[in-house]
Amino acid sequence: MPLVNDTTAPRIALVGATGVVGTTLIQLIEERGFRYRAIDLVASARSAGREVSVEGRDHRVHDLDGFDFSRTDVAFFSAGGSVSTTWVPKAVAQGALVIDNTSAFRMDPATPLVVPQVNAHELEQRPASGIIANPNCSTIPLVRLLRAVEDRWGIRQAVVSTYQAASGAGYSGIDELREGVRTVLEDPDSPGVSKTFSPSLAFDVIPSIDRRLDDGFTFEEQKMLQESRKILGLPHLDITATCVRVPVVNSHSEAAWIECDAPVDRDELVRALAALDEVTVHDREELGAFPTPRTAGDPNRVHVGRIRVTRTNPRAFWLWAVADNVRIGAALNALQIAEALVERGVL
């Protein structure tokens, strides 16, 4: 059982405990047997007082306003960027080490941005900022694949299109997609439901995620460039992206074109990707096979298919990747950071 009396086990707090990432984090703590000696569930005032079960024990959700982090060893923040901007410094000042799942601190030079399968060396000591940032949900699966490519062939550039699920906007996104689908099915001329997404996501795709920047790109697309450079330690890496919201409940997909410094042999590439931790290559045995958000399988793995070296440029190849954005893209990566910190004696 994860709850233990061992005084070396960390005391944890989950901020945003009633959101889609927070509830998934609770599931993963139970599934993976992450040992802790105390757990506090924290959320906004509208969720405070609710009872949430962890390991069959009911826990009352605390109001973030006024919560005391001095009794917390590690705090997971999954309540949005504005909440993290306000409350993470307060939690750190009270002694907690924060694993933050928002973009608030990702590009802070004093804050490591970590994907344990890629740059776990960043977790050898407590960061100066007291914060470890969790990357964007589309960046995480991409860099897990790019690390092996860079090590073997070097990367000149990458062009990525993402197909991002409604769950990327939390429970409100999931609920709106489902409601919108029902509305449009009942009345095909209906504009659908459009509160979280604009226009309505039902039976449509939206090629714009997050705020639009002055150059026409979106913040989501900029994050993929900046975060990939920082995680991989490649400050001049050339990545450009188009991020698209699609009418899928959960799991993001990506189509990536990657040009390398040297010619790529497909068989060797397939072997290199298949050898990565927690990666499944679907077209290793059947050329052209691919995963989809509904059929990929194990949600704790990155799923890859349609690996093809381009005929006109042997240094370049395409691949298709699918990953559960709530698990791999958020909660699982955060928990694996905490597991690595415990393993290294930092927590």
CB 80 within 8 A of CB 102: yes
Is 21 marked within a binding site?
yes
List all residues 6 or more positions away from 167 whose beta carbon is below 8 Å from its beta carbon.
20, 173, 174, 249, 250, 251, 325, 326
- Amino acid in the structure at residue 251: S
Is 136 marked within a binding site?
no
- The catalytic residue positions are 137, 252
DSSP at 200: -
Is 19 marked within a binding site?
yes
Is 288 marked within a binding site?
no
Token representation of residue 187: 């009345």
Is 315 marked within a binding site?
no
- CA distances 227 to 67, 76, 142, 173, Å, are 31, 20, 11, 24
Q: Which residues of 283-301 are buried (b: 16+ CB within 10 A; e: fewer)?
A: bbeeeeebbebeebeebeb
DSSP at 197: S
Is 167 marked within a binding site?
yes
* Helix pair 139-152, 266-274: axis angle to 10 deg: 130
C-alpha span between 214 and 121 (Å, rounded) = 35
DSSP at 122: G
C-alpha span between 62 and 78 (Å, rounded) = 15
Kindly give the pairing relationship between strand 155-164 and strand 97-100: unpaired
Instruction: Identify the three-state secondary structure at position 307.
Output: strand
- CA distances 284 to 155, 266, 281, 290, 297, Å, are 22, 10, 6, 10, 16
- Amino acid in the structure at residue 238: D
Is 152 marked within a binding site?
no
List all residues 6 or more positions away from 199 whose beta carbon is below 8 Å from its beta carbon.
191, 192, 206
Is 245 marked within a binding site?
yes
Is 106 marked within a binding site?
yes
Binding-site residue numbers for NADP(+) are 18-21, 46-47, 167-168, 325
Binding-site residue numbers are 18-21, 46-47, 106, 164, 167-168, 245, 325
Binding-site residue numbers for substrate are 164, 245
Binding-site residue numbers for phosphate are 106
